[in-house]
Amino acid sequence: MISRFAALAASMLIASPALAQAGDAAKGKAVFARCMACHAVDPGVNRLGPSLAGIVGRPSGAAPGFAYSAAMKKASIRWDAKSLDAFLTKPSASVPGNKMMFAGLPNPADRANLIAYLASAGRK
């Protein structure tokens, strides 16, 4: 039987930004299939959502040519593994009032893999 402390420690490791940085980009590409209806990773290709090319390191609300919500423009987030992990967990809680109609990715491994994919896709 796992102690409560061990279970808590394990859950903290799973959700850590370090895990997000250690995600698998190939698996993240498969997770990205859920995002493709609204987003692209090609520079300048905005759909219902903005292009995610170069998202890692970019400030929120800054993809060229996309009409962001006032909430996203005012969010003052620099997208990195930690901020992307928080946003992808539950976008409406991370940036209240944003236009993204996606409930979030509850699985920490899916988020870590997606973040790894987005980081690699931004290096094209």
pLDDT reading at 5 higher than 50: no
Phi, psi of 8 (to 5 degrees): -65, -45
Cα-trace Rg, the chain: 15
- Distance (Å, whole) CA 39 – CA 51: 6
> In the prediction, which pLDDT does 22 show?
82
Mean pLDDT of 90-115: 97
What's the mean per-residue pLDDT of the chain?
A: 86
Of all residues in the chain, the percent with pLDDT exceeding 90 is 79
Q: How many CA atoms, within 13 angstroms, populate the side-chain half-sphere of residue 74?
A: 7
pLDDT reading at 26 higher than 50: yes
The tens digit of pLDDT for each residue in 40-94 reads: 999 999 999 999 999 999 999 999 999 999 999 999 999 999 999 999 999 999 9
The tens digit of pLDDT for each residue in 61-74 reads: 999 999 999 999 99
Domain 23-118 matching CATH 1.10.760.10: the answer reads yes
